[in-house]
Copies of this chain bind each other. A is one copy, B any other.
Amino acid sequence: MILSGTVIADSSTVISDGGVVIVGSEIEAVGTREEIFDTYPNHEHKEYDIIMPGLVGGHIHSVQSLGRGIADDTELLDWLFDYILPMEASLTEKSMEIAAKLGYLELIETGTTTAIDHLSVAHADRAFEVAGEMGLRGIFGKVLMDRRSPDGLLEDTDQALNETKRLIQKYHRSYDDRIRYAITPRFAVSCTEECLRGARELADEHDGVRIHTHASENRSEIETVEEDTGMRNIQWLDEVGLTGEDVVLAHCVWTDESEREILANTGTHVTHCPSSNMKLASGIAPIWDYHNRGINVALGNDGPPCNNTLDAFTEMRQASLLQKVDKLNPTVTPAEVIFDMATINGAKAAGFDRVGKIREGWRADILGVQTDLTRATPLHDVLSHLVFGAHGDDVAFTMVDGNVLMEDGEVTVADAKEIRRQAHNIELDLEEAREISQEVKP
């Protein structure tokens, strides 16, 4: 297949009238329209205004999608213990499947092709299978919670790690290696030392398995860890082995100099979730500083209950705007840096080689984006428009690993209307789980 249009191969390579040739799951050639059509005269051909790499959601809670907007404007502890944990605890195998379908549908529609996805404690199989069948790429993991957690989510340490091991064996490198495993402790507060060290051991035992957790999102979290361990949160994670080039830490809002040095020295990846940090009033993560220290920063939408969308274009814009106002400097986090965060940096965090740019021999994870829109008129700088002006709605074509997931604005791998109908009809009954979660609410 040939895709033609303005090709944004990466943040520094724009071919204003270009083409991309896809053969199987790979990109065979990238060039000017003329070069491409001369060399590949008889290929199937699609034209979009912009051809760009698929976006990478560096921290996603896709299966929280049934809780979209469930607790807007709510205090953090109420948000977590009255809504989010009860919702996760009350997910059945069936509702987990629908939640996953709804989450992944939104990713496909809005151009996220790779997800770093925090599932829930139970029923992770359903999410792996839905993601695999709908054609996404990503690293996914069941959540580990072995203390300070409500019944329904709380597990024995052994049980949690054994279940993780089973899921790794079943799903890691499945679906043509699009689907991989990330061991997913919820955060240091809800995991024992044994659990965190166990996570590191499991990761070391399985080639390509990564670790993904929340870290230093809010102040009460880091205070609790300090009371537990006498250390700052990132120091503690480093102590138990949860830093390094195979580790993705979401948020990292509240870090001190020593922690930033650890992140930089260990090659730990940080995912910034600006809309979530704003909506939950967590704080402003110092990502311009991280970037300047050489820390690899990705972007993520977090979950629909704290965003309320999984549209990665929203996060690109938000990430840049939030740093600019925080630094009182409109030149920080320029479009090209943000575009990298949402593409190649995310792919590095997820551990996928040859993903995140449009390059010969790289995986064919590609979007077609339309610009015949008032908000794209006039169009002075295509890359800058994608960061500051575009929206998930503008994505008309989504390809992962050479497979077309959406074409001309229509998702081809699922029945979007039917998924929305099913999701609307789910009755979330949180009462019982909410009562139980009160017992551990601080």
Contact = CB atoms under 8 A, between A and B. Distances in A.
A76 interface: yes
A277 interface: yes
Interface in A369-412: 372-375, 377-381, 384-385, 387-389, 391-393
Contacts of A389: 68-69, 308-309
Given A330-B76, A381-B72, A321 B388 contact: no
Most chain B CB neighbours (cut-off 10 Å) among A66, A278, A283, A331: A278
Interface stretch (A6-14, A40-48, A101-109, A346-354): A101-109
Nearest to A219: B328
- Copy number in the complex reads 2
Given A73-B330, A384-B69, A391-B391, A106 B374 contact: yes
B74 A331 contact: yes
A440 interface: no
Contacts of A73: 320, 330-331, 334-335, 384
Interface string A94-119: 00000000100110010000000000
Range for the number of chain A residues in contact with chain B: 35 or more
Contact of A388 (B72, B277, B334, B423): B72
A82 interface: no
A322 interface: yes
Contacts of A413: none
Contacts of A102: 374, 377
A132 to B, nearest CB: 20
A69 B385 contact: yes
A184 interface: no
A423 B331 contact: no
Interface of A: 66, 68-70, 72-76, 79, 102, 105-106, 109, 275, 277-284, 308-311, 318, 320-322, 324-325, 327-331, 334-335, 372-375, 377-381, 384-385, 387-389, 391-393, 416-417, 419-420, 423-424, 426
28 contacts: A66-B378, A68-B377, A69-B378, A69-B381, A69-B384, A69-B385, A72-B335, A72-B381, A73-B320, A75-B331, A102-B377, A275-B321, A278-B321, A281-B327, A281-B328, A282-B325, A282-B328, A283-B325, A308-B385, A373-B420, A374-B420, A375-B392, A377-B423, A378-B423, A378-B424, A378-B426, A391-B391, A391-B393
